[in-house]
Structures are given as structure tokens and as C-alpha cells.
Chains A and B, each alone.
Chain A
Amino acid sequence: MNVLRDIFSQGAQMLLVLLLAPLLTGFVRKAKARLLRRRGPPLLQPYRDLVRLMRKDVVLADNASWLFRVIPYLMFAGTWVAASLVPTFGNGLLFSWTADLIAIIALLGSARFFQALAGMDVGTAFGGIGSSREVMIATLAEPAILMTVFAVAMIAGSTQLSTVAEFMGSDAVGLRVSLGMAFVALTIVALAENARIPVDNPATHLELTMVHEAMVLEYSGRHLALIDLSSQLKLLLYVSLIACVFVPWGTATADASAATLALGALLYIGKLTVFGFLLALFETSIAKMRVFRIPEFLGAALMLALLATLLRFVSGSL
């Protein structure tokens, strides 16, 4: 009985993130448009775009290798699995024993590795520029997020997300400086990883300033649909991660009743809305930074995360 329930719960979670991811992107776009006094595309537009891309033929460069064709699937698989490991509305996931923060980071890291390879595969200048910038960002974002994970793990006593979430939801946490620092660090990394302003601009048409978009310029059809969906899943993943670690209230526990699960789901949607709106607000109020300022920005995240870890070492109560 429990196994059945777990399978159902895990399956629901996998479907949920897949279905919700385009909506979150659509919501952020809509919120940004409203902030700019525009009407903006409908909330459901990302779904329509995905369907449209799925129906289109794939146009491949003559010199594209097999890797170029396989990578969208690899990226999608890695990101989807990672996204379904993060507790959204409930903790009691079948795979929660694998839902290790380091595993999630590794999954995202390999997705990015393949994407950078794909950017260089066809040999266009833009792909190369995009990959080189992406890797520059990654070399700083990945240590920063790992340090954040360590800071959180040392406080919660585990790198396993369900345990972390449960601990963070309990009264044992209290108010901690190190958690505040880890939160800021994780937010900065999330902005960089999701190619948002001020690091990258998801809406740009300027090929010379692109990072993420430059790497996927050569993709089309279902490949592009999968890559777009992966990006949307990644955004959802990071928002869920921040929500699950720093505002875990309302997340249903493993043995929760249907009503608690429903409440958890509702709260989860509420958290997504709030974070989505904050993201839109932040992106509207700031310009993109110079490429060579990005290391300083991410360096700040790394330092904050490092400080958080150190503080935890120095004083158990901070």
C-alpha cells in the first residue's frame, strides 16, 4: 500500500514539474511585461511554443555530429530527473533517498557540460562564444552552490533534501546568519544558472551578448523544444530548491493525509508565484552587467557561501 502511494506520489511529482515548468516561465514573462506597461503574451504561450516546435522539422547543420543530436535528450533527461528529486509539495518521495543535493548539482552540471559541447559542435563563432562564457560562469557558480550546500548540510546534518527540508521546517532551526548568507548566495547562483538578468538576458535578440541563447542558436524543431523545456525545468528546480530549503513551511511530510498534500500543493503554487514575481521585479529594475563583471558577482556568492560555512564552524548557533 505504502509502495503504491509512494510510486503515485513520485509519479505525480515528475508530471507536476513537467507541467508546471512552462507555466512558471510564462508567468515570469507576463509579470515582466505588465511591469513594462505591456500586455505581454498569454500565460500559456510557452506550451504553445513547445507544441509548435515539436511539430516542426529539425534543421541540422551539415557538419553536426551525432553528439549534437543526442545532447538535447541528455540535457532534458538530466534536468527532468534533477527537477523531480527536489521536494515540491511533499517530502515523501520514492526517490528521496537519492535526492541528494550533490547529486542534483552533478545532474545539472553534466547537462551544462553537454550543452557547452553542443555549442561548439557545429563550429559557429556564436556557439563558441556562448560556450566559453557559459563555462566561465559555471566555474564560479558551481563552487558557490557547493559551498551553499555544505553550509546548509552542516546545519541540517544531511545533504539529503527531504531531511534538510524537514529540519528547516522544524523549530530547531531558529534564526541563523549563516542561513541568510547561504540564501543570498543561492539566489545569485540561481540567477546565473538560469541565464537571467544581470548575468544573461533570456529575451535578447543581440547575438553578440548572448550566453545561453548563443549556445542553442543552431538548434531547431523538437531539439529546441527539449532544450527550452530543460531551461524551464531548471528555473522551476531552482525556485523549488530555494522554497524547499528556505521556506519549507506547508510541505507535506511522508505520511501525510490527502488534505495536507492538497494544502502543500496549494502553498507550493503560492511560493512559485511569489518567487516568479520577485524575479520579474528584480529583472526589470536592473541592467545586465558587463561580461567581465560576472565573475565579481558570482565571486560574491562564493564568498558568502564560504562565510556561511565558516560561521557555522566557528559558532554552532549562527
Chain B
Amino acid sequence: MGLLDHIPHQSTVPAHRPWPRAVVAEEGWRAAIDQLVAGRATLLGFWGEPAAVHMALLDAASAEIAVVTYECASGSFPSVAIDHPPALRLERTIHDLFGLMPLGGGDRRPWLDHDVWGQSGPLAGRSVARATVPYEFLPAEGEGLHQVAVGPVHAGIIEPGHFRFTANGEHVVRLEQWLGYTHKGIESLMQGASLEAAARLACRTSGDSAVAYAYAFALAVEAALGIEPPRRAIFLRALMAELERLANHFGDIGAICNDASFALMHAQTGVLRERCLRAADAAFGHRLMMDVIVPGGVARDMSSYGIPAMQALLAEIKKVFPRLIELYDNTTSLQDRTVTTGIVKTEYVRQFGAGGYVGRASGRDFDTRRAIPYAPYGALSFDVPVLDAGDVNARVWIRIREVEQSVALIAQILDRLAPGEIRTALPAGRGPCEGLALAEAFRGDVLVWLRLDGENRIERCHLRDASWFQWPLLETAIEGNIIADFPLCNKSFNCSYSGADL
């Protein structure tokens, strides 16, 4: 027992699986913050309830997870962000959604709440007053500085988000993001939803990670209910997750090159991405494989076209992709753009616990599939590529290496895929229970925490995208770069707007 030993707590919640949840008083809450500040623990998630806040911590050394809960008797809680900046946006979100006040000063501007909801604290369950002051960006002072406002509507067809640059000519002094434009109220829709409806909602939190979200959600429900899906379902889930990773990495590699105006790569990887989506369609009846993974297993089996479609896909990738890697590596003009552009420092990646290619390109060796393995990844062999450079080029290379790993994984899964059951019935009436799960999306770890009410309805569910801890790093990556290189840095992060706006 590591983490909770250092955190004085009043009690642990019995029906919280698979990791413990401890209710703490102010002393314990502060001890948890100290663990974060000292770097002994990484913040995995931070979410609210009408009268409590929860923090999920990961012990960096032992890969052990614990949730600490602080009950906000007076509608407030000691601020985490004041000592540990990665919590800031999540803390502002808790305030926006639940009206809980973080104590201790710091940044009190709203985050998701753009004052267009017609109410404040929509999940608080009580009336919350909101001070309507215009949103102010952080100041930057100096001679010759000017601001460039970009978005939320962009010239290309991408998700909406506002970027405020303070620049001196081309050189960026500060970038500040303002997101929340795609807030859909997912946490509110989740409350009281049946598991079936909730799984559909989870799937739609961020469309490009539909499988990963459904996967994490199903794992959390299964953890809460203490059930195991059948063996075939476990392998089919991993197959879909890897297929989704392939499609997105292909799309990203091409899109990053396209932002350096190297359209040739975009066209070629676009073909590969399309092949992945078509193979997914042939195998699972949906290009993005939405609503296939459900709590208890998978909703439908792979079609009879599935195996040949996968084999054809793997053969094509093995034939074409090495040539594309060579093209990327040998195009000097492209390398000139990606190498040393948008460097993310290793300290920041550690502090923020950034997952996915953002973390792994800056030396943070963390992949949920290996660090906290969930079935079937414990039984599969694969490498987790890690680089130290932290620039755009490193993030491209991590993706390239992950494509190779995913191809190998799909081949292994196809070998082990045996006929059998695909879904376990969910037990009902076991009383209230809680579950926490992490799954590796192509961007990084997705965290799902939920509480079931005993009738297999969601009482409360929180979904945390990997982007929460990546977006702030983009602000640091662009410092000292030039404005014209921002699209390239941004695309190499490819953070989710929808996933982080909830």
C-alpha cells in the first residue's frame, strides 16, 4: 500500500473498484496535494459532485491508483490548482458545473461557462450566483507587443476554440487558449441514464476516440459490477482500439505534413486512413465503430468479412507505410519544419502527467496499456516508443512507431481470436457501486469514473480526456516560436476540443 499511507483519511468507500477511494478531511486533502507537488503522484483526474470533489492520483513509481474525496460541507474546497497548476482547468470546470468554490485565491475565471447557458452551476442542484464579468485574458506587457485573436471560427473545418496570441511581430510571447465552445453537457445527460444510453453518450464524447471512450466506459462499469466480459469480446475490443489508433495516427501524420504544405504525405496517409475505416466498416458495420463496445462485452460480433478485411489492410500497410516513412525522413524541407519546432519540456510533461504521444515524445514513458494493463493487453507483446526531443518531429516519430506496434498487435489479436460468447449479462440489484477505469486512446489515457445506483442506472459519471493535460502544454510549446509555426505545433498535439469541453 503506497499512496493512501501518506494521506491521512477518515474512511475508504467499500464499493469502489478496482482501486480504493478514501474520504479525507482538509489535512488529507492537503497531504494529497503535497504528493502531487512533490512529484510522487500524478494527477489523473479531478472532478466534482454537488457536495464533494474527487481527485484520482497515480503513484508514479508503483503505478498504483487511488481516489481521494473531500466533502464540501460549506460549498467550498481547498484549491489544488494554486499549488499544482495542472488542476487549474479542471478546478475551474468544477466551479462552473457545481458551483463549488476553490479556496485560496488564484485564477477564478470561468472555464466552460461562457455565460450562455441561461443558468450557472447546472449540476449543483441548488441555485448558484454567477458574477457576470467579461472574460479577461492574462496580460503580457512589453514594448511592441500586440495581440492576435484566432477563432473560435477558423478558416478550415476544424473544431472551435479561441487562441489569443501576444506576439512581437512573428515571435509569440504568450498563447492563451479559451475552450468550451463545444460544451454538450455530457455529465448532466449522463445522470440517470440507463447503461445503454450512457454508453452511447460516452462514445460520442470525442468522435475520433469513439472506441476508446466506449472501452473505458465499459471497463468502468464492469469494474463497478465486478464482472468480466467473455474472452472473444476482450480481443475484439482491443482489435477495434488498435484499428482506431491506426486510422487516427495515419490521419495525424498526414495532417501534420499538410500543415507544412507537404500535401503529398497527406494524400498518401489519407488513402491508408480510408482503408482502415473501410476495414472497420466491413468488420463491425460502422466506420468509426461507434456503439460496438458495450458494458459486458461487445454489441455485435465481427462480420465474416472482418478477418479478410483486416488481413488485406495489414498487407497494404506493410507494403506502403515503410515507403512513406522514408519519404518523411528524406524530405529535407519537411524535416526543416518539424525538427526543433514546438519543444515541450520534460519537466512539464511529468508535472502535467501528459499521456499519449505528447508525453512519450518528451520522455514520459507511460502507456496505460502497459503501465496499468487491462485485458487483453497484459497477454500481448508490444513496445511503447519513447523519445526525448519533445519537438514536432518526435511526436510524428512516436506516431510512426505506434503504427508499427498497432499493426503487430492486430496480427497477434487475429491469431488469438477464437469463436465464443461476446457478451455477459449485467447483474442487477447489487446495490450502489462505483468504478474507475483507464483506457489508452490514440491521444493518451481516457479516464472514466462512475457511480451506479444499484438499478444499473448512472448516478454520476465523469469522463476525462487526455487533452485536459495536453492543451496547457501547447501553450508552453509555442513560446519562443513564431506565429506561423503554431498550426504545425497544434496539429502535432491534435488535442480534442469536444473531449475537453464535455
Is there contact, CB below 8 Å, between A125 and B146? yes
B299 contacts the other chain (Cβ, under 8 Å)?
Answer: no
State how many angstroms separate the Cβ of B252 from the closest Cβ of chain A: 16
A206-B259 CB under 8 A given contacts A125-B146, A284-B264, A290-B485: yes
A290 to B338 Cα, complex, angstroms: 10
State how many angstroms separate the Cβ of B479 from the closest Cβ of chain A: 15
Is there contact, CB below 8 Å, between A36 and B263? yes
B381 contacts the other chain (Cβ, under 8 Å)?
Answer: no
B486 contacts the other chain (Cβ, under 8 Å)?
Answer: yes
Which B residues are CB-close (under 8 A) to A36?
263-264, 266-267
**Nearest neighbor of A210 in chain B, beta-carbon distance:** B155
A125 to B170 Cα, complex, angstroms: 12
State how many angstroms separate the Cβ of B358 from the closest Cβ of chain A: 20
Write out, one digit per residue, whether chain A residues 265-290 have a CB within 8 A of any chain B CB (1) or not (0): 00000000000000000001111111
A315 contacts the other chain (Cβ, under 8 Å)?
Answer: no
Write out, one digit per residue, whether chain B residues 151-188 have a CB within 8 A of any chain A CB (1) or not (0): 00011110000000000011000000000000000000
Among A196-221, those with CB < 8 Å from B are: 197-198, 201, 203-209, 217
A260 contacts the other chain (Cβ, under 8 Å)?
Answer: no
A70 contacts the other chain (Cβ, under 8 Å)?
Answer: no
Write out, one digit per residue, whether chain A residues 281-313 have a CB within 8 A of any chain B CB (1) or not (0): 000111111111100000000000000000000
Write out, one digit per residue, whether chain B residues 484-502 have a CB within 8 A of any chain A CB (1) or not (0): 1111000000000000000
Binds A, one of B38-46, B55-63, B226-234, B329-337: B329-337
Which A residues are CB-close (under 8 A) to B257?
287
Interface centre among B155, B337, B487 (most CB of A within 10 A): B155
Interface size on B, residues (CB 8 A): 33
**Nearest neighbor of A32 in chain B, beta-carbon distance:** B263
Which B residues are CB-close (under 8 A) to A38?
267
A182 contacts the other chain (Cβ, under 8 Å)?
Answer: no
Is there contact, CB below 8 Å, between A292 and B482? yes
Cβ-defined partner of B334 (8 Å) among A129, A287, A291: A287
A204 to B488 Cα, complex, angstroms: 13
A32 to B271 Cα, complex, angstroms: 17
Which A residues are CB-close (under 8 A) to B260?
287-288
State how many angstroms separate the Cβ of B288 from the closest Cβ of chain A: 23
State how many angstroms separate the Cβ of A291 from the closest Cβ of chain B: 5
**Nearest neighbor of B341 in chain A, beta-carbon distance:** A290
Is there contact, CB below 8 Å, between A209 and B487? yes
Is there contact, CB below 8 Å, between A284 and B263? yes
A288-B337 CB under 8 A given contacts A37-B271, A206-B487, A208-B487: yes
**Nearest neighbor of B259 in chain A, beta-carbon distance:** A206
A207 to B148 Cα, complex, angstroms: 11
State how many angstroms separate the Cβ of A296 from the closest Cβ of chain B: 11
Is there contact, CB below 8 Å, between A288 and B261? yes
Is there contact, CB below 8 Å, between B146 and A290? no
Which B residues are CB-close (under 8 A) to A209?
259, 261, 484, 487
State how many angstroms separate the Cβ of B88 from the closest Cβ of chain A: 25
A309 to B268 Cα, complex, angstroms: 44
Is there contact, CB below 8 Å, between B155 and A286? no
Is there contact, CB below 8 Å, between B170 and A291? yes
Write out, one digit per residue, whether chain B residues 296-333 have a CB within 8 A of any chain A CB (1) or not (0): 00000000000000000000000000000000000101
Is there contact, CB below 8 Å, between B333 and A206? no
A208 to B266 Cα, complex, angstroms: 19
Which A residues are CB-close (under 8 A) to B337?
287-290
Is there contact, CB below 8 Å, between A207 and B261? no
Which A residues are CB-close (under 8 A) to B334?
287
State how many angstroms separate the Cβ of A286 from the closest Cβ of chain B: 5
Is there contact, CB below 8 Å, between B267 and A205? no
Cβ-defined partner of A293 (8 Å) among B147, B156, B336, B486: B336
A287-B267 CB under 8 A given contacts A206-B155, A206-B156, A207-B155: no
Among A102-136, those with CB < 8 Å from B are: 125-126, 129, 132
Which A residues are CB-close (under 8 A) to B146?
125
**Nearest neighbor of B170 in chain A, beta-carbon distance:** A291
Is there contact, CB below 8 Å, between A205 and B156? yes
State how many angstroms separate the Cβ of A13 from the closest Cβ of chain B: 34
State how many angstroms separate the Cβ of B258 from the closest Cβ of chain A: 9
A289 to B335 Cα, complex, angstroms: 10
State how many angstroms separate the Cβ of B332 from the closest Cβ of chain A: 9
Among A50-79, those with CB < 8 Å from B are: none
State how many angstroms separate the Cβ of A289 from the closest Cβ of chain B: 7
Which B residues are CB-close (under 8 A) to A293?
336
Is there contact, CB below 8 Å, between A132 and B336? no
Interface centre among B156, B257, B333, B486 (most CB of A within 10 A): B333
A36 to B261 Cα, complex, angstroms: 13
Q: What is A's interface to B at a CB cutoff of 8 Å?
A: 32, 35-38, 125-126, 129, 132, 197-198, 201, 203-209, 217, 284-293
Which A-B residue pairs are the 5 nearest by beta carbons? A205-B156, A288-B261, A36-B267, A287-B262, A125-B148
Further 8 A-B residue pairs, CB within 8 A, beyond A286-B331, A290-B485: A125-B147, A197-B261, A206-B487, A208-B484, A208-B487, A286-B333, A292-B482, A293-B336
Sample 24 A-B pairs with CB under 8 A, ordered by A number. A36-B264, A36-B266, A36-B267, A37-B267, A37-B271, A125-B146, A129-B483, A132-B169, A198-B261, A205-B156, A206-B156, A208-B483, A286-B331, A287-B331, A287-B337, A288-B333, A289-B333, A289-B336, A290-B337, A290-B485, A291-B170, A291-B484, A292-B482, A293-B336
Q: What is B's interface to A at a CB cutoff of 8 Å?
A: 146-150, 154-157, 169-170, 257, 259-264, 266-268, 271, 331, 333-334, 336-337, 482-487
